[in-house]
Chain A
Amino acid sequence: QKEVEQNSGPLSVPEGAIASLNCTYSDRVSQSFFWYRQYSGKSPELIMSIYSNGDKEDGRFTAQLNKASQYVSLLIRDSQPSDSATYLCAVVSNRDDKIIFGKGTRLHILP
């Protein structure tokens, strides 16, 4: 059974600090990794995608992937109250191209 695990939170971070969100996955042949942000009552929207080991930066967001340890993380620098949302980690296996979402981490940025 392939799984994607996230701490459900809530994770409370002061405004301006770095928020660190973590995700682990069980399927070793996973190849594609995504972070989606979902505001309450809204649809998920893509924040970052990452496919190879290392860091990928886009503005205030950095995705980090470590395939050997089977984890992917998302760092949000200079956190803003507007970053308060649920962040969903999604992993796609190279085996069957099926996407599996984690249950999400609720992030709360304290003004």
Chain B
Amino acid sequence: DTAVSQTPKYLVTQMGNDKSIKCEQNLGHDTMYWYKQDSKKFLKIMFSYNNKELIINETVPNRFSPKSPDKAHLNLHINSLELGDSAVYFCASSQDAHSNQPQHFGDGTRLSIL
């Protein structure tokens, strides 16, 4: 009974392709996030949505476009993939956007660009 689930788990593709990662949470949370964890294990926030509204948009290339059809889903579409996009992408959710709420992470999507 997975709380935050993301698909696919692994994604191997060639440079220049477009790909999407999907995320769903069944915790009833209002806020969802996308993180990138690079090869040095540094976890950095990319986007945050609260009730389908974008609230955090860090310095991320506009090739990355998040979409939240409802508050239980937050998908990430990446255009024109580059070698530097290779990383593990984690989806997470929290009760709401307040600072005192812990985050619950999905299992990650390992993206490898050939």
Contact = CB atoms under 8 A, between A and B. Distances in A.
Given A86-B41, A103-B40, A103-B41, A45 B105 contact: yes
Nearest to B104: A46
Interface string B99-114: 1101111111000000
B41 A104 contact: yes
Q: Is chain A's interface secondary structure helix, strand, loop, or mixed overall? A: strand
Range class of the B interface residue count: 10 to 19
Interface string A94-108: 100111110110000
Contacts of A86: 41
A100 to B, nearest CB: 8
B44 interface: yes
B105 A44 contact: yes
Contacts of A60: none
A46 B27 CA distance: 15
A93 B56 CA distance: 13
27 contacts: A31-B99, A31-B100, A34-B103, A38-B41, A42-B107, A43-B90, A43-B105, A43-B106, A44-B90, A44-B105, A46-B103, A46-B104, A49-B100, A49-B102, A88-B43, A92-B99, A92-B100, A97-B98, A97-B99, A98-B56, A99-B45, A99-B99, A99-B103, A101-B44, A103-B41, A103-B42, A104-B43
Given A42-B107, A44-B90, A104-B41, 7 more contacts: A32-B99, A43-B107, A92-B100, A98-B45, A98-B56, A101-B44, A104-B43
